[in-house]
Amino acid sequence: QPAIYACPSCGAETCYRFGKNGRFLSCTRYPDCEYAAPINREGVPLLPERVDIVCPEDGSEMELRSSRFGPFIASVKFPETRFVLNLDKKANIKYPTTPPLVTDVDCPKCGAPLNLRRGKRGPWLGCSKFPKCRGRKAWKELDEAQQESWLTALEAHEQKNPRVELKRRDGSVIPEGTPVSELLLASGVAELEIHPAHRKPAAKVRKPKATIAQAAQ
């Protein structure tokens, strides 16, 4: 099925193909050209959009991309740079969670090891089988020697897994829960050119911009 867009990598015509994740935009010169892009229901390609976030892993700019699991934010060097950010259901920035420290203290409910985390009200122990098991143990129930040794372990664990801080290009910190729409860079919205074979000379063909943020809503 032909599409109106020109391939941004080689300039050839594009077409819609079916893959295991549904319809997508593909270069007609595939496999010589491997350009492909996800599309919305109307067949408009969902192109990555630049966002005002510096990648904490490689220091480059990041972009909002889409996958079959929904939108996510990755470095422009993705997938070589592995760091990705997810969005919550309302398309707000979600900070990556620090992996918990697994202890050898047993869950009072199911016997599985408890995870130690630092909360707002101090360290707390929750079952590693959460959400299957909601078992917890109060920090106070540990004796003093245990508390001391697990606190030391937790501090070492936190140093090994520092919590990332997301920053804009000007260095200001981005709080968790910031709507991604506030971080989109206007200049970063890319659009595919219409292939000359599909250009109508009289009326300008201008498909409405489909942004990933819109598609996520």
Using CB under 5 A, list all residues that contact Zn ion: 7, 9-10, 12, 27, 29, 33, 35, 107, 109-110, 112, 127, 129, 133, 135
Tell me the closest approach of the beta carbon of residue 112 to Zn ion, in angstroms: 5
Least distance to Zn ion, CB of residue 201, Å: 24
Could you give the CA distance from residue 74 to residue 194 in angstroms, rounded to a whole number? 27
- Cβ 216 to Zn ion, closest distance in Å? 27
- If the CB atoms of residues 33 and 215 are measured against Zn ion, the closer one turns out to be 33
For residue 196, the minimal CB distance to Zn ion (Å) is: 14
- Least CB distance from residue 171 to Zn ion, whole Å? 38
Using CA atoms, how far apart are residues 46 and 55, in angstroms rounded to an integer? 21
